[in-house]
Amino acid sequence: MADHRIQRRPLELTPTEQTITRALAATRAPVERGIARLKSWRIPRKSRCSPNRMTSIAKAILTLERQR
């Protein structure tokens, strides 16, 4: 009978994979912080407007957050 188990990857990454992982993490971190800031405001949670309008509101909120 054939063994159809999924082979696990080794725990250590190659240097290329480490570089790619670091680059992705560096790109993702500011986006995640921005989303966390948006979630702290009540406007996006209670809003019932179009997505186009919410884009403008989100930009305004992030601009205000940068000014703090």
Within a domain: residue 55? yes
The structural domain count of the chain equals 1
Within a domain: residue 30? yes
Tens-place pLDDT, residues 2-59: 566 777 666 788 899 999 999 999 999 988 888 888 788 777 777 788 888 888 888 8
pLDDT value at residue 68: 73
Within a domain: residue 24? yes
pLDDT value at residue 1: 54
pLDDT value at residue 47: 76
Model pTM above 0.85: no
Is the pLDDT at 60 greater than 60? The verdict is yes
Within a domain: residue 41? yes
Q: Range of 53's domain?
A: 17-67
44, 57 Cβ separation under 8 angstroms: yes
CA pair distance 59, 38, nearest whole angstrom: 10
